[in-house]
Structure 1
Amino acid sequence: MKIKLAALSLLITCCVHAQESKKGYYKDQWQFPPKDGSMLVTADQQKSLYATEAEMKWFKDAKLGIFVHWGPALLKTNVLSWGRNGERPGAGKPADGGVASDVYDNLYKEFNPVDFDADIWMRQVKSWGAEYIVFTAKHHDGFCFFDAKNTDHNIMNTPFGRDICKELADAAHRSGVKLFWYYSQPDWSHPDCLREKHYENYLPYMKAHIKQLFSSYGKIEGVFWDHLATKYWQWNSYHLYKQMKTWQPGILTNSRMGFGWPLENRGDWDDPEQSLGPVNHHRYWQANLTMTDKWLYSPKGPVKTAETVLGMLIQVAGNGGNLLLNLGPDGKGVFVAKEVEQVDKIGEWMKLYGHTIKNTRRGIYIGGDYGATTQTGNTLYIHVLEKFSENTEPVIVLPELPIKISAAKGVTEGFKTADVKQGKLMLYFEKEAFNKNLDNIVVLTLEEDPSLFERIETWKAIPVSKKEFKVLQSSSLKPKHNAEIIYTTKGNVFSEGIHLKSWWEPAKGDETQTISLEFKTPKHIQTVLLSENMRSHSVRDFDLQTKDVNGIWKTVYNGKTIGEGLRIKCNGDLINGIRLKVNKSEYSTQITAFNVYE
């Protein structure tokens, strides 16, 4: 019997490995040819869909938008659509848990956001300094926030019983906030979506929704598709979007219109998710980021601080993109107080310094160690995000500009003077005032428009190799979160839009959370790069410590937040080691980068 059981176990194991080794075995079933040749397009037809530069101008000027993921799912889970246990047409993997589909699909019958007020939402969006809102009219789970005539799975059949999309559109028009509908082409609750009768039954069903959303609610500025792992012809994307442009002249679209287009550039911009995106991308882009760890309402999730979000907004704007910041309202239709508290601070900062972000384009200096730049006309704003350790004077060194500087002035307090020495632009700051600012902003008035010149690279540093140091840690939650992982996983360095999925996480109850790099030979460290997992910006107080050649540790920098891509400039003294000590962490410490540069 033991031999038979062992043989059976081996057979099952082999079958499982064989199935897993067949990459895409699940998503392949949702991909199939077009119904006929008319669904296929040429490169010229694709180009004809692109928005003009004039149509894109307001979007590029805006820099900040608010994303809203919402739905009846929050009554049982904090994961929208992906918290449903059932088939996932268009996805790469099947569900392996979650709320049973028969329960999930009926949650709308209990959904009653009694405190929802579209005008309050729009006033908040404006107060936060955002210019547009993207709202989930329909997510993958199929629930419609509008009065869809071809399904009962909509807001009109909830206890609330009011067309939320209509109320949002009316309020947006009254307030001057621009409105996008998010619409997921795949529908996990529809029996014909991406199945045998997809073209005959599901596509007309979807088209009826699109016609209603983009022809019955007044001016709609754009659409945010979410195609998952599907092809453009499965949604007849070319013909559908071409028709949408007649309903909504000047409409904009993101890139998720389906794979397989002749040209690489899908839609009007690229949209990296939970990532800051590239520093020198070939086209405009938008970073889609969550205020917590989830897209849906997540009351116990880690809330990003205003300082963290502003740091990301500045980096995004300076590198040619917009920040689309997601908030998940609660079951009563109100944004979470802890999130609002932080976004209100963003709004206050935008009132003071938003002019250095809005209505600008990415600057002549490519983002790097120092921070980022924005520019408009002959005006260049240098946003200094870099921090300085003790005994290190705040001096920013950049390559010399190919343009003469007419004037240099501090937008924030603390700027002293600018000078050009030996082919370098030097910016000098008063240390005490510098340290008080989240973003030290300098405005340069130039004699020529910097957009007429090639952008200038500022950051070519390569981190000290893992071969040069030993990694020590106070603890780790699991083997996969051992500190070594952040040095052995490809992409866990400063990068162009890599979605980091590996991090060091100390064990629960660890009261002395530390990660140390012990150098095999002494190093002159100039810069330290720290990052947290994008979904858990948790650190609220930390020390950066160095070990001198006598083996004595001392604190050289104390900070409150790390967030994404924090750079700390050191004085370059010879040291034997460097240590990150987390003194306070509000949620779960998750460090994705602790890199050092000579």
Structure 2
Amino acid sequence: MMRRMKFSHTLFALIALCISFGVSPCLAKSSQVNATELSEVATHPAKMDWWLDDKFGLFIHWGPSSVASVEIGWARASHPFDHQGKLELMPDAEYDALYKQFNPVDFDADQLVRTAKAAGMKYLVFTAKHHDGFSNWATELSDYNSMNAPYGRDICKELADAVHKHGLKLGWYYSTRDWSHPDYLVGDNSQYNDYYHGQIRELLTNYGQVDVLWFDHVAGKWSDYRFEELFEMIYELQPQILVNNRAAKFVFRHKAGTPTPELFALTKGDYETPEGKIGNFRVDYPWETCMPMSKGPDGHGGWSYRPEAVTASFEKCAQMLAACVTGGGNMLLNVGPMPSGELRSEELANLKALKPWMQTYGESIYGTRAGPYVSGQWGGACHKGNVIYLHVFEWADGQLSLPTLPRKVLHCEALGGESVSFTQNADALTIRLHESKMRSLRRTFKPTERSLHRVLKLTLEPGADMALIPVEGHVAKQQHGTLVNPMCE
């Protein structure tokens, strides 16, 4: 049974965090911490700075399901209170026994983290527990964990140690859904609350600094859960942690437990998480696309190891990253290690190919903010100081014409070394690409014939902040206050 926290410790942590972020400590003046106070600390913009700058992370889905080459979690036949999906299913007993064969003797956490870092990734999020309930760490709350598999090691610890060693940020994916737990929604859900709160406490206590907590959905009613208690514990243990928007995703509004607006806002976390597609152009709220590098041959799944999976080209991976960044978001690119612990050769090759791409174009990714041009089929823009970067996906006869900028363009260059020229007048900024005059590349990456993606760097005269500029004919509609990104496919 999880031990309840002492309020005084939590209050002290919240006041310290408020002061560090410049928020008045009178925020936490009541006799108990409530959703409003937690939400104000949780959503303070200062703690988002590193994440907004870093842009690019590695997502890893892995567990015993890799032994049978089936989709993690979703291949288990029983999904209490959830839809069944479109994947081939295994009987529960057969799926739940896969851990008895899970022995990834070739897993090398240090090598994996070094590969991610070389590919330009700044943070890593790992599936500590997926919907199937298997824990990839030495949890004391369940025997269904990696220590009791033939492998017999704490995978989370090995990854956490490697991440900290190499200077990346650490994130835990944790599925609040648990289809193998007898109390999850079909039993005594108060017991399940104690269980999963206890597991979160372990993950935020035993592995040093944790920078991201990436929840993945939960069903039921609001009255089934103790979310204020959960978030109080989270911010007590890791005050500057970022939490995604899925802690209460799919929880139903119900007469027996309708949340207050403050609690609803708290559980929305720090950023949104469009899945399997590029998020819409949005600069008013942080978002991160999570995207599998591979997909099953039927177009479904692909988050975890599937030997027959179809893997996106490295050029596509780079273009998706650019589409996220110019649309105002981050990208969490997923790989699924094999039963041995190694990556599929196709996914490893993509990560290695991203290294020279990021060496050449990384300045147009890190530390930028979207705009001033709104994304379209042509590509998108991001900026940093007096510099605008254009990620161009389509060229009309080697030319790109955009609405003019309110400030003078002093210089235009292509980061890949291509020859470009530009003209600017009161109506338009026109850039011409002279591929036949391509100069020697300054670094190591050379665009292939398959990719039209080019990155341009515009240096502007100093001036005020840049307002967003729609590009006529490229953004057709607006939904829920966000502009539709044509890369959403």
User: What TM-score do you get using the length of structure 2 for normalisation?
Assistant: 0.81
SS in structure 1 at match of 2:311: coil
Alignment equivalent of 1:322, drawn from 316, 323, 330: 330
Distance in structure 2 (CA, Å) of the matches to 1:95 and 1:430: 48
- Following the alignment from structure 1 to structure 2, what is the Cα–Cα distance between the partners of residues 462 and 141? 40
| Stretch deviating more after TM superposition (236-245 or 164-173) | 236-245
SS of the residue corresponding to residue 320 of structure 2 reads helix
CA contact 2:283–2:370 (8 Å) conserved in 1: no
Equivalent of residue 249 in structure 1, options 239, 246, 255: 239
- How far has the Cα of 1:334 moved from its partner? 0.7
- How far apart, CA to CA, are the structure 2 residues paired with 1:278 and 1:162? 41
3-state SS in 1 of match to 2:94: helix
1:189 alignment partner, one of 180, 190, 195: 180
Q: CA deviation at 1:90?
A: 4.1
Query: Is this contact kept in 2: 1:127–1:347, CA < 8 A?
Result: yes
1:417 matched residue in structure 2: 421
Please tell me whether the aligned partners of residues 156 and 162 of structure 1 are also in contact (alpha carbons under 8 angstroms). Answer: yes
Q: CA deviation at 1:231?
A: 5.1
User: 1 CA distance for matches of 2:197 and 2:39?
Assistant: 22
User: Contact 1:417–1:428 (CA<8 Å) still a contact in 2?
Assistant: yes
Q: CA contact under 8 A between 2:412 and 2:420: conserved in structure 1?
A: no
Q: How does 1:225-244 map to 2 (within 5 A)?
A: 225-230=215-220, 234-244=224-234
Report Cα offsets for 1:518-572 as digits up to 9, x if no partner: xxxxxxxxxxx9xxxxxxxxxxxxxxxxxxxxxxxxxxxxxxxxxx67xxxxxxx
Q: How many residues align?
A: 426
The C-alpha deviation readout for 1:16-58, integer Å capped at 9, x for no partner, is xxxxxxxxxxxxxxxxxxxxxx99975x346325243221111
**Could you tell me how far apart the structure 1 residues matched to 2:421 and 2:385 are?**
22
**Deviates most, 431-440 or 142-151:** 431-440
Q: 1:62 to 1:230 in 2, by over 3 A?
A: farther
User: Which runs of 4 or more aligned residues in structure 1 lie more than 6 Å from their structure 2 counterparts after TM superposition?
Assistant: 38-41
Which amino acid is 2:394 matched to? E
CA distance in 2, matches of 1:193, 1:63: 35
Report the counterpart of residue 496 of structure 1 in structure 2.
484
Q: Does 1:117 align with 2:121?
A: no
Answer whether contact 1:70 1:136 (CA < 8 A) is retained. Answer: yes
* Contact in 1 for aligned 2:360/2:415 (Cα 8 Å): no
Could you say which structure has the larger radius of gyration?
1
- Which of 129, 134, 139 is the equivalent residue of 1:138? 129
Alignment deviations for residues 339-394 of structure 1 (CA, whole Å, 9 cap, x no partner): 11122111220011111111111121111132111111111111211144xxxx31
Distance 2:87 2:280 in 1: 33
Verify the 8 A CA contact 1:373 1:383 in the aligned structure 2: yes
Question: 1:218 corresponds to which residue?
Answer: 208
Contact 1:418–1:428 (CA under 8 A) maintained in structure 2: yes
Contact kept, 8 Å, 2:201 with 2:233, in 1: the verdict is: no
3-state SS of 1:442 partner: strand
Gap regions ≥5 residues in structure 2: 1-30, 254-258, 296-301, 439-446
2:44 paired with 1:52 = yes
1:466-545 to 2 correspondences below 5 Å: 496=484
Shift of 1:96: 8.6
Inter-partner Cα distance in structure 1 for 2:158 and 2:466 = 46
Aligned residue type for 1:280: R
Secondary structure of residue in 2 paired with 1:120? helix
Structure 2 matches for 1:355-374, cutoff 5 A?
A: 355-374=363-382
Alignment match, 2:59: 67
Please report how far the alpha carbon of residue 440 of structure 1 lies from its aligned counterpart in structure 2 after TM superposition.
Answer: 1.9
Aligned to 2:467: 454
Aligned mates of 1:419, 1:137 — CA distance in 2? 53
- Structure 1 residues without counterparts, runs of 5 or longer: 1-37, 464-490, 498-528, 530-563, 566-591, 593-598
Residues 230-264 of structure 1: per-residue CA shift (max 9 Å, x gap): 45664422321222112112100111011466256
Contact 1:39–1:233 under 8 Å retained in 2: no
> 1 or 2, which has the higher strand percentage?
1
Distance 1:231 1:281, change over 3 A: farther
Cα drift, residue 412 of structure 1: 2.5
Q: Are the counterparts in 2 of residues 85 and 96 from structure 1 also a CA contact under 8 Å? A: no
Q: Which amino acid aligns with 1:439?
A: H
- Secondary structure of 2:273's aligned partner: coil
Q: For residues 171 and 475 of structure 2, what CA distance do their matches in structure 1 show?
A: 41
Aligned to 2:404: 400
Q: Distance in 1 between matches of 2:117 and 2:223?
A: 38
Q: How does 1:49-448 map to 2 (within 5 A)?
A: 49-86=41-78, 88-93=79-84, 98-199=89-190, 201-230=191-220, 234-259=224-249, 262=261, 266-293=268-295, 294-388=302-396, 393-432=397-436, 433=438, 438-448=452-462
CA shift for structure 1 position 114: 0.6
1:446 Cα offset (Å): 1.8
Q: Distance in 2 between matches of 1:462 and 1:325?
A: 25
Select between 338-347 and 222-231 the one with higher mean Cα deviation: 222-231
Per the alignment, in what secondary structure is the counterpart of residue 340 of structure 1? helix
Greater relative CO (CA pairs within 8 A, separation 6+): 2
SS at match of 2:366: coil
In structure 2, C-alpha distance between the alignment counterparts of 1:435 and 1:163, rounded to whole Å: 41
Aligned-residue sequence identity (percent) comes to 34
Q: Which amino acid aligns with 1:176?
A: G
* Aligned equivalents of 1:332, 1:461: Cα separation in 2: 46
Once the two structures are superposed, residues 154-176 of structure 1 have per-residue CA deviations (whole angstroms, 9 ceiling, x without a partner) of 01111110111111111111111
Instruction: For 1:412 and 1:198, locate their aligned partners in 2 and report how far apart those are by CA, in whole Å.
Output: 56
